[in-house]
Amino acid sequence: MKTQWLFFDIGSTLIDETKAYEHRILDAIEGTDITFEQLNEKRKFFAKQNLRGDLEAIEYFGLKRTPWHSEDEYPYPDAEKVLAYLHAKGYKLGVIANQPTGTEDRLRSWDLLKYFSTVAASSELSISKPDKAIFLKALEMSNCTTENATMIGDRLDNDIYPAIELGMKTIWIKQGIAAYQQLDPTKAAPDQIINSLSELTTIL
């Protein structure tokens, strides 16, 4: 049997972005009479339509898109434990993510880089999901075929559907704002749907 590869998204998959999103909202509404709750509810509304919740909500209220505070990002509590478990089981692990420059450095700072054999990040490759070219590049970098690859991510639009269209297996992890996204009945469904990283240890 050929080595099985598991490819992970980063934001809201391995890394909790809750505080960063909250920071962006608070910055955006500063000096206005719009409440945090109002903007947050609108984020959920747009996410349920499979749109970028925070950016669509900011645009809806006519607010300025504020900077992203990456210092507010941190790994989910179970991230390292799960990666260590999968690595020990013999899976090859990779990253396919839309991230700014320095993805490997950030993974190293969280003590997670050691588990990954491939890191395919949009800024370094100049390709962003949902463009299937970034998935194909990651597979090429890993010497992996689509049938031996599984994509694990929080967003149906960016992570799951492009991977399905390429013939990869998929696991939708319902974390962060994208947990409100809705399955498209006209598209193939993910192979698995989970609510936390820890659930990977029960299905893999």
The pLDDT assigned to 52 comes to 81
Kindly tell me the number of DSSP H helices and DSSP E strands found in the chain: 9, 8
CATH code for the domain in which residue 105 is found: 3.40.50.1000
110 and 11, same structural domain? yes
150 and 185, same structural domain? yes
142 and 55, same structural domain? no
126 and 151, same structural domain? yes
Domain residues for the domain of 111 are 5-16+76-203
What's phi and psi for 106, nearest 5 deg? -65, -40
Instruction: Tell me how far apart the alpha carbons of residues 162 and 186 are, in angstroms, rounded to a whole number.
Output: 14
57 and 141, same structural domain? no
161 and 80, same structural domain? yes
158 and 103, same structural domain? yes
Chain centroid to Cα 116, Å, comes to 16
Residue 3: pLDDT over 80:
no
3 Cβ contact list (under 8 Å, min separation 6): 90, 91, 92, 144, 148
Instruction: Tell me how far apart the alpha carbons of residues 147 and 177 are, in angstroms, rounded to a whole number.
Output: 29
99 and 12, same structural domain? yes
109 and 56, same structural domain? no
Taking residue 173's Cβ as centre, other Cβ atoms within 10 Å add up to 28
128: confidence class by pLDDT, cuts 50, 70, 90:
very high
180 and 153, same structural domain? yes
Q: How many residues does the chain have?
A: 204
Eight-class DSSP state of 22: H
The pTM score is: 0.95
C-alpha torsion angle, residues 135, 179, 183, 11 (rounded to 10): -10
Residue range 57-116, pLDDT digits in tens: 999 999 999 999 999 999 999 999 999 999 999 999 999 999 999 999 999 999 999 999
Averaged pLDDT for residues 171-184: 96
Instruction: Count up the domains in the chain and report the number.
Output: 2
129 and 46, same structural domain? no
176 Cβ contact list (under 8 Å, min separation 6): 11, 12, 16, 17, 18, 21, 154
115 and 64, same structural domain? no
Residue 1: pLDDT over 70:
no
Residue range 108-126, pLDDT digits in tens: 999 999 999 999 999 999 9
